[in-house]
Chains A and B, each alone.
Chain A
Amino acid sequence: ETGVTQTPRHLVMGMTNKKSLKCEQHLGHNAMYWYKQSAKKPLELMFVYNFKEQTENNSVPSRFSPECPNSSHLFLHLHTLQPEDSALYLCASSQDTVGHRPEGYTFGSGTRLTVV
């Protein structure tokens, strides 16, 4: 276990469903990230939170809604998704977004999402 826990590990949802992905870190980090990993494409940064504040949104469709209630928890709320949203969603955390090294960046194991 890397210290970043994601649940559920697998999720199948219909296009009209509403579901949420959860990420939790026990590393004392202050920055948390959502990435999307699709087949044969680079990992895409979706959102960045630093000290609970959203600092980056990479033009992500509004059907993805992040929430960061505290520095240890990050959620991704999903609604009216499309089949092309099927992917591995990865959460990561780091001490901060400024002045650190890649060694301090930790990924979770991801949630495999399938939209049917």
Chain B
Amino acid sequence: QQQVKQSPQSLIVQKGGISIINCAYENTAFDYFPWYQQFPGKGPALLIAIRPDVSEKKEGRFTISFNKSAKQFSLHIMDSQPGDSATYFCAFFSGNTGKLIFGQGTTLQVKP
């Protein structure tokens, strides 16, 4: 079973600040490295995903950085807003099997 180590477990950021969440993995035998956002009472929703042959992907205020040599990928949330307060999960996704393996999750609180 692929090990995914996500950190930190929880994060408090001031409004307008940068939120950074990291994930470490063991191998890259997956097709995509997505990040999911989950609000209380809701299921996870895909936020942004990156392929292992790409070093960075940006969508609006959200950026994934992928460091293949360090076997790490991270989510940066620029200009963090209170509405970003949620739990964030990194994951691995296999296009061949449709299998998703999730990290432990990071609870983000953005203070006004």
Give residues in A with beta carbon < 8 Å to B: 2, 4, 31, 40-43, 45, 48, 56, 90, 92, 94, 96-103, 105, 107-110
Given contacts A42-B103, A42-B104, A42-B105, contact A98 B45 (CB under 8 A): no
> Is B32's CB under 8 angstroms from A102's CB?
yes
The answer, yes or no, to whether B27 is at the interface (CB within 8 Å) is no
Query: Are the CB atoms of B46 and A102 closer together than 8 Å?
Result: yes
Residues in B whose Cβ lies below 8 Å from that of A4: 43
A41 to B45 Cα, complex, angstroms: 18
Please list the residues of chain B having a beta carbon within 8 angstroms of any beta carbon in chain A: 4, 9, 32, 34, 41-46, 49, 89, 91, 93, 95-105
Main secondary structure of the interface of A (DSSP, over half): loop
Closest to A88 in B: B43
In the complex, the number of residue pairs spanning A and B with C-beta atoms less than 8 Å apart equals 68
Contacts of A42 in B (CB 8 A): 4, 89, 101-105
Q: Which residues of A contact B95 (CB under 8 A)?
A: 98-101
> Are the CB atoms of B45 and A2 closer together than 8 Å?
yes
Can you name 7 A-B residue pairings with CB atoms under 8 Å? Answer: A31-B98, A40-B105, A42-B102, A42-B104, A90-B44, A96-B98, A101-B93
Cβ-defined contact, B105 with A108, below 8 A: no
Q: Which of A2, A43, A97, A103 contacts B98 (CB 8 A)?
A: A97
